[in-house]
Amino acid sequence: MSEITLGKKLEVTVKLKVEADGTVTEFTIVEGSGNAVVDASVREAGMKLGKLPPPPNGQAFSAPVRFELGD
């Protein structure tokens, strides 16, 4: 059984940096879940992010984002 089927909540925290035009210039795992498959999935999703809608204030920003899987 996997950790997910056992009801354990897995969390991955990443640092996300978005430029004024919405271009994602950083997606770095800063705290992994402890599950290599989950961490690799989050990393792969981050690599697919090329561009997001521009920030409403037109300013580049960097923020932590937490992905949660499970309960």
**CA 12 to the chain's CA centroid:** 7
**What is each CA distance from 41 to 35, 37, 45, 48, in whole angstroms?**
10, 6, 6, 11
What's the whole-number mean pLDDT along residues 29-45?
94
Number of domains in the chain: 1
Higher model confidence: residue 1 or residue 42?
42
pLDDT at residue 1, as a whole number: 44
**Quick check: is 2 in a domain?**
no
Confidence check: pLDDT of 4 > 60: no
Q: Is the model's pTM score more than 0.85?
A: no
Q: What is the largest CA-CA distance in the chain?
A: 46
Interval 53-66: pLDDT, tens: 999 999 999 999 99
| 4 domain residue, yes or no | no
The boundaries of the domain holding residue 43 are 10-69
